[in-house]
């Protein structure tokens, strides 16, 4: 998930809508070993192989290693960090591209633009990097499955905190995703949501801001995020 990238007119033949994600992420300045990176996931919808279930505001999603998923070239993406970077995305053969990026700061407005030379139409937007958060409560992974699980943090003045529990085998994954306003300082995954999920999954925590653009038959989420930190030596939670 290497073939020739589709052109825009090829992708639009059936008129079917596609959803994709372009994310700039980092562990922040406190985690120098974590290189800032850009990831393309275009599209992500073919990998949803079961109907989403929502329990207490958390989404349960099954993702499959779909061999027949369409492959799209993203074209040229310019990310307005300092210095700016330009990346050519092929998104083949695994429907996702990862690229090294450059450091960015909390509160920095980061322009992003797609040139329209690939499968995606031209898009231009800007995303403000959120404020970093530090976990202050006990951090359990795998997550205990039978009781409410509450996580607390400090530093969250902007953005949304994602608590994501994941379990995967042989290319198939189960994801439990819960989102909370960073400024709230805490979030709870309920016992009911964990029971419906049904796995002792690994927990990942991040804070992000997102701008969504919709052009032609594409909806693309442009995301800027930081992995969360802990006060101890090992700050990277993923």
**Is 189 in contact with 146 (CB distance < 8 Å)?**
no
Q: Is residue 233 part of a domain?
A: no
Q: Is residue 153 part of a domain?
A: yes
Radius of gyration from C-alpha coordinates of the chain? 18
Q: The domain containing residue 72 runs over which residues?
A: 8-227
Q: Give the model's pLDDT for residue 231.
A: 67
Q: Give the model's pLDDT for residue 10.
A: 38
**Is 41 in contact with 154 (CB distance < 8 Å)?**
no
Q: Give the model's pLDDT for residue 66.
A: 66
Q: Is residue 79 part of a domain?
A: yes
Q: Give the model's pLDDT for residue 124.
A: 96
Q: How far is CA 151 from the centre of its chain?
A: 20
Q: What is the pLDDT of residues 83-98, one digit of tens each?
A: 999 999 998 776 788 9
Which residue is associated with the tokens 């990862």? 98
Tokens at residue 70, please?
Answer: 């369409």
Each residue's pLDDT, cut to its tens digit, for the chain (238 residues) gives: 222 223 233 334 346 788 899 999 997 554 454 689 999 988 776 677 778 899 999 999 888 766 666 778 899 999 999 899 999 999 877 678 899 999 899 999 999 999 999 989 999 999 999 999 999 998 888 887 788 999 999 998 999 999 999 988 766 788 999 999 999 999 999 999 999 998 888 999 999 999 999 999 999 999 999 999 886 544 344 3
**Is 163 in contact with 151 (CB distance < 8 Å)?**
yes
Count of structural domains, the chain: 1
Q: Is residue 103 part of a domain?
A: yes
Q: Is residue 1 part of a domain?
A: no
Sign of CA dihedral 223, 225, 227, 228: negative
Q: Is residue 237 part of a domain?
A: no
Q: Give the model's pLDDT for residue 101.
A: 92
71 phi/psi in degrees, rounded to 5? -115, 130
């Amino acid at each position: 998930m290497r073939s020739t990238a589709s052109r825009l007119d090829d992708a639009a033949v059936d008129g079917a809508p596609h959803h994709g994600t372009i994310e700039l992420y980092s562990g922040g300045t406190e985690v120098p070993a974590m290189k800032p990176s850009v990831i393309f996931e275009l599209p992500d919808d073919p990998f949803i192989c079961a109907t989403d279930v929502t329990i207490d505001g958390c989404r349960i999603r099954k993702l499959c290693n779909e061999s027949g998923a369409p492959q799209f070239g993203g074209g040229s993406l310019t990310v307005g960090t300092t210095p700016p970077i330009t990346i050519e995305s092929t998104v083949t053969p695994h429907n996702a591209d990862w690229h090294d990026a450059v450091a960015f700061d909390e509160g920095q407005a980061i322009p992003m633009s797609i040139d329209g030379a690939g499968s995606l139409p031209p898009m231009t937007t800007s995303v403000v990097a959120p404020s970093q958060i530090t976990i202050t409560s006990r951090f359990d992974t795998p997550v205990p499955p039978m009781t409410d699980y509450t996580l607390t943090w400090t530093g969250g003045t902007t953005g949304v905190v994602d608590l994501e529990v994941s379990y995967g085998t042989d290319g198939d994954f189960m994801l439990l995703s819960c989102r909370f306003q960073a400024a709230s300082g805490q979030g709870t995954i309920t016992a009911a949501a964990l029971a419906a999920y049904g796995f002792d999954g690994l927990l990942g925590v991040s804070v992000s801001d997102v701008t969504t653009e919709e052009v032609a038959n594409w909806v693309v989420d442009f995301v800027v995020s930081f992995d969360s930190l802990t006060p101890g030596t090992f700050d990277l939670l993923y």
